[in-house]
A and B are shown apart, each in its own frame.
Chain A
Amino acid sequence: SQTIHQWPATLVQPVGSPLSLECTVEGTSNPNLYWYRQAAGRGLQLLFYSVGIGQISSEVPQNLSASRPQDRQFILSSKKLLLSDSGFYLCAWSDQEDSPLHFGNGTRLTVT
Chain B
Amino acid sequence: QKEVEQDPGPLSVPEGAIVSLNCTYSNSAFQYFMWYRQYSRKGPELLMYTYSSGNKEDGRFTAQVDKSSKYISLFIRDSQPSDSATYLCAMSHAGRRALTFGSGTRLQVQP
Contacts and interface: CB of A to CB of B under 8 A. Distances in A.
B is bound to A: yes
Contact of A103 (B6, B45, B49): B45
Chain A contact residues: over half helix, strand or loop, or mixed? strand
B37 to A, nearest CB: 11
Chain B contact residues: over half helix, strand or loop, or mixed? loop
B101 A44 contact: yes
Contact of A90 (B6, B43, B49): B43
B92 interface: yes
Contacts of A6: 43
Interface residues of A, number: 24
A57 interface: yes
A102 to B, nearest CB: 6
Interface of B: 4, 6, 8, 32, 34, 36, 41-46, 49, 88, 90, 92-99, 101-104
Given A46-B98, A98-B92, A108-B41, 17 more contacts: A43-B6, A43-B88, A43-B101, A43-B103, A43-B104, A44-B88, A49-B97, A49-B98, A59-B98, A92-B43, A98-B93, A98-B94, A98-B96, A100-B90, A102-B46, A103-B36, A106-B42
